[in-house]
């Protein structure tokens, strides 16, 4: 395929009459007061939020239409709780999420990426079940007894209640505080007698069945990983469309290490998020964040162990620690819970969300409002709008300079190039950073330095694309079109797909600067190229998406006509689960893993659309090749006939010329004999005859050359047909980023 000229818009200065974008006059001020005083309520915002919206799936959203509405509103990460039901119900919810992704992908003519996480059941101590499911209210000053006697497990009341702490009599002492739920009910131990703990109620509240019990300052010596966790991890590892696991009540890094060991033993490469909901977790946060792939700060549960006045400080500590290490951090609280039954939120809830983003959160986790609320999709839209305002007001100069001070040399080239891409985007006011990635590491590094524009990451691997959804500002694109043998063309096509997605989402407009980031060769760890281009109005700046002679199916790219919009993807789910490919890339010396290797295990080409598209492309290519072969045969036949006719015409012309030459020579001889010319005349005649013989020889040579040219054309047609068949067979063997170039070269040499 011939290369197309690069078509971009010329650079232009910003219009001084237009309001500044993303609080630019304030974002790069050197002092806090200058930054604050230059903020403007008229500043233009981004069209899509940079922060991540994670939604808990529950009864009110456990249907396909609601899930699609959540995705359209801004959800990029779905959370399923193991405590929400049985394993069969959890599995049904995961499959329902995948079905919703399929329908949404058909609607958009591309693969819509949605990350899915499963949260383990919270360990610890819980009370029993209230008698007849009633709600019990405790008043301050009442006497309340907790017992470890299992006879009371299913008949708790306002005076007596079971809790599952077998050694309570040995570890509890008089004056110890016991907190039930999220701080709603507080008790003080008055007497310890065998299995019964008599307490005085110090804070009134309601009791519900199976509420969590916290005992601040008392080590409970519970195992980091329970037998229930081991069984749940084995179950989660079998789910092909799960991308992460959330570990509840993480108190130390050992907990995360043990979870990773169990996942590895089950053959899983899931991301591990640590849920911090205790004072011990805050104390060990630095070690936990280094071991985990991300952190979820459970603010409500944390309030049960520390004073409520310390929550703001704990939140800032958690965000700053994760920002410094470079790990995503989310916060969950009672966000938008007024929208459980109301369509509009409280002003304080919006400000609370925006404060979290300004403090450094990468996203928020919505719990009750999306699991049980009547206006879940509206709540997600409100959060997305709140994000956009807060992200524009981030003091970019301070945060970027602070992160640069932590990036001490030496560092690997991909890290350095990623920092340069963020700096280039800031200086050029780029509308997007678009990159082609294999492992997703380049996108993660770029996200770590918190750019002010979206990062559109294009990758071939479905799991990598989905897992990138947990990183701030990253919009992942799962690229599943047939690969190009030429790596440079392959990169340009992927980047063009990212540009088209940016235009579809109205992130990129004509004339906007775009920063492009890519690698110089295939594989992970080779990112080293930065380019700055300006978006065109309609024409692409690089090669088009696909070969002009091939049509594509649903999900290959943006803007293509779909060949089958009614395709059912239900049957492809089982096929995707049976595809277990492992692709390993050898990296330079990095911190990504042991021996410098990054391994993708599991269903790496597990897109629900990929199998269908590959089969469609093969069928279309075969049909196109058959049509081309017929045309080639017809052309060769016509060319052969034309060649034979041309040879006959040339021979006829040659014969006529000879006859004419002989006739002319005969006439001249007769004239010479009749006129009896002088003795010098025969020599002149001989010279004329010699010239005519030379003309005849030149004519014969010219005819022979033309015949040879026509024969070469016939051989070229035959060779091109043979090479096209070879290339088609080679394209059928493509898988991921690999190609059969050596086999193609050998076949071409044999054909030639």
Q: Where are the domains of the chain?
A: 52-122+227-393, 125-214, 397-535
Flag whether pLDDT at 554 surpasses 70: no
Q: Give the tens place of pLDDT for each residue, 562-587.
A: 333 333 443 433 443 343 343 333 33
Superfamily of domain 125-214: PK beta-barrel domain-like (2.40.33.10)
Residue predicted with more confidence, 11 or 343: 343
pLDDT of residue 247: 94
Q: How far apart are CA 468 and CA 465, in angstroms?
A: 5
Q: How far apart are CA 622 and CA 337, in angstroms?
A: 56
pLDDT of residue 19: 56
pLDDT of residue 555: 32
Average pLDDT over residues 387-408: 90
Burial label for 623, CB within 10 Å (0-12, 13-18, 19+), is: exposed
pLDDT of residue 546: 37
Angle made by CA atoms 267, 273, 277, in degrees to the nearest 5 = 135
Q: Give the tens place of pLDDT for each residue, 110-131.
A: 889 999 999 998 877 888 888 8
Q: How far apart are CA 383 and CA 368, in angstroms?
A: 14
Q: How far apart are CA 163 and CA 152, in angstroms?
A: 9
Q: What are phi and psi of 434, to 5 degrees?
A: -115, 130
Q: What are phi and psi of 217, to 5 degrees?
A: 80, 0
**The pTM of the whole model exceeds 0.85:** no
Per-residue tokens: 616: 């469609």
**Nearest residue to 397 (alpha-carbon basis) of 34, 41, 15, 16:** 34
616 and 563 Cβ atoms separated by less than 8 Å: yes
**Nearest residue to 177 (alpha-carbon basis) of 194, 162, 189, 190:** 189
Confidence of residue 621 (pLDDT cuts 50, 70, 90): low
Domain boundaries 397-535, corresponding CATH code: 3.40.1380.20
Confidence of residue 700 (pLDDT cuts 50, 70, 90): low
Backbone CA torsion sign across 198, 204, 210, 216: negative
Flag whether pLDDT at 704 surpasses 80: no
Flag whether pLDDT at 380 surpasses 50: yes
Q: Give the tens place of pLDDT for each residue, 324-362.
A: 999 999 999 889 989 988 899 999 999 999 999 999 999
Confidence of residue 223 (pLDDT cuts 50, 70, 90): low
Angle made by CA atoms 539, 541, 543, in degrees to the nearest 5 = 95
Confidence of residue 729 (pLDDT cuts 50, 70, 90): very low
Flag whether pLDDT at 7 surpasses 50: no
**Nearest residue to 557 (alpha-carbon basis) of 646, 637, 481, 631:** 481
Largest Cα–Cα distance in the chain? 158
pLDDT of residue 559: 31
| 52-122+227-393: in CATH 3.40.630.30 | no
Burial label for 608, CB within 10 Å (0-12, 13-18, 19+), is: buried
What are the helix (H) ranges across 347-412?
347-359, 368-371, 376-392, 396-406
Flag whether pLDDT at 524 surpasses 70: no
Percent of the chain with pLDDT over 90: 34
Q: How far apart are CA 383 and CA 74, in angstroms?
A: 9
Flag whether pLDDT at 87 surpasses 70: yes
Confidence of residue 317 (pLDDT cuts 50, 70, 90): very high
Flag whether pLDDT at 3 surpasses 50: no
Burial label for 13, CB within 10 Å (0-12, 13-18, 19+), is: exposed
Q: 743 by DSSP, 3-state: which?
A: helix
Confidence of residue 615 (pLDDT cuts 50, 70, 90): low
The residue length of the chain stands at: 752
Q: Give the tens place of pLDDT for each residue, 632-651.
A: 555 455 555 554 555 555 55
Residue predicted with more confidence, 25 or 52: 52
């Amino acid at each position: 395929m011939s290369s197309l000229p690069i078509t971009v818009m010329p650079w232009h200065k910003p219009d001084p009459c237009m309001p500044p974008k993303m609080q630019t006059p304030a974002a790069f001020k050197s002092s806090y007061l200058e930054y604050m005083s230059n903020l403007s309520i008229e500043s233009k915002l981004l069209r899509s939020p940079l922060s991540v919206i994670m939604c808990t799936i529950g009864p009110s959203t456990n249907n396909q239409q609601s899930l699609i509405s959540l995705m359209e509103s801004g959800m990029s990460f779905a959370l399923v709780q193991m405590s929400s039901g049985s394993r069969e119900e959890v599995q049904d919810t995961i499959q329902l999420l995948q079905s919703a992704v399929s329908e949404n992908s058909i609607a958009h003519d591309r693969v819509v990426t949605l990350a899915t996480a499963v949260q383990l059941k919270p360990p610890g101590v819980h009370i029993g079940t209230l008698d007849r499911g009633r709600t019990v209210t405790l008043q301050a000053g009442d006497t309340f007894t907790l017992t470890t006697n299992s006879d009371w497990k299913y008949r708790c009341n306002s005076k007596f209640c079971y809790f599952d702490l077998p050694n309570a009599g040995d570890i509890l002492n008089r004056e110890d505080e016991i907190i039930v739920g999220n701080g709603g009910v507080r008790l003080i131990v008055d007497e310890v007698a065998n299995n019964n703990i008599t307490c005085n109620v110090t804070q009134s509240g309601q009791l519900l069945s199976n509420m969590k019990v916290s005992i601040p300052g008392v080590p409970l010596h519970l195992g980091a990983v329970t037998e229930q966790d081991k069984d749940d991890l084995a179950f989660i590892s079998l789910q092909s469309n799960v991308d992460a696991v959330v570990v509840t009540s993480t108190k130390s890094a050992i907990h995360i290490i043990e979870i990773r060991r169990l996942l590895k033993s089950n053959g899983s490469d899931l991301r591990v998020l640590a849920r911090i909901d205790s004072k011990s977790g805050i104390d060990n946060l630095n070690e936990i964040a280094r071991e985990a792939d991300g952190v979820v700060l459970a603010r409500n549960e944390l309030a049960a162990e520390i004073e409520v006045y310390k929550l703001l400080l704990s939140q800032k500590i958690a965000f700053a620690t994760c920002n410094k290490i470079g790990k995503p951090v989310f916060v969950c609280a009672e966000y938008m819970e007024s929208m459980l039954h109301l369509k509009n939120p409280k002003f304080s809830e919006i400000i609370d969300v925006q404060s979290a983003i300004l403090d450094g959160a990468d996203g928020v986790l919505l719990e009750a409002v999306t699991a049980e609320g009547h206006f879940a999709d509206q709540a997600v839209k409100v959060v997305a709008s709140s994000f956009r305002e807060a992200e524009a007001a981030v003091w970019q100069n301070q945060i970027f300079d602070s992160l640069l001070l932590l990036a001490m040399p030496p560092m690997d080239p991909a890290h350095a190039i990623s920092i340069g891409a963020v700096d280039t985007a800031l200086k050029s006011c780029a509308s997007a950073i678009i990159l082609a990635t294999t492992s997703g590491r380049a996108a993660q590094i770029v996200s770590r330095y918190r750019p002010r524009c979206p990062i559109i990451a294009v990758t071939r691997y479905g799991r990598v694309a989905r897992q990138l959804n947990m990183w701030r500002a990253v919009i992942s694109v799962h690229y599943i079109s047939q690969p190009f043998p030429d790596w440079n063309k392959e990169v340009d096509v992927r980047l063009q797909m990212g540009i088209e997605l940016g235009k579809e989402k109205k992130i990129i407009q004509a004339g906007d600067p775009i920063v492009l980031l890519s690698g110089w060769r295939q594989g992970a760890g080779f990112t080293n190229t930065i380019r700055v281009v300006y978006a065109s109005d309609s024409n692409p700046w690089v090669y088009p998406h696909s070969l002009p002679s091939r049509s594509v199916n649903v999900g290959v790219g943006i803007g293509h006509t779909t060949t089958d919009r009614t395709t059912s993807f239900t049957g492809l789910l089982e096929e995707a689960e049976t595809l277990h490919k492992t692709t390993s890339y050898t990296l330079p010396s990095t911190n990504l893993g042991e021996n410098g290797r990054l391994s993708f295990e599991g269903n790496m080409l597990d897109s629900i659309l990929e199998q269908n598209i590959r089969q469609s492309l093969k069928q279309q290519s075969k049909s196109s090749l058959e049509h081309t072969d017929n045309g080639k045969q017809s052309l060769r036949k016509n060319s052969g006939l034309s060649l034979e006719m041309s040879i006959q015409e040339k021979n006829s012309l040659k014969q006529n010329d000879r006859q004419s030459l002989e006739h002319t020579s005969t006439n001249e001889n007769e004239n010479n004999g009749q006129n009896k010319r002088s003795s010098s005349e025969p020599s002149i005649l001989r010279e004329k005859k010699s010239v005519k013989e030379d003309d005849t020889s030149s004519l014969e040579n010219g005819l022979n050359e033309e015949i040879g040219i026509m024969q070469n054309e016939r051989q070229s047609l035959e060779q091109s047909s043979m090479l096209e068949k070879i290339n088609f067979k080679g394209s059928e063997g493509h898988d991921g980023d690999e190609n059969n170039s050596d086999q193609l070269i050998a076949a071409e040499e044999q054909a030639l």
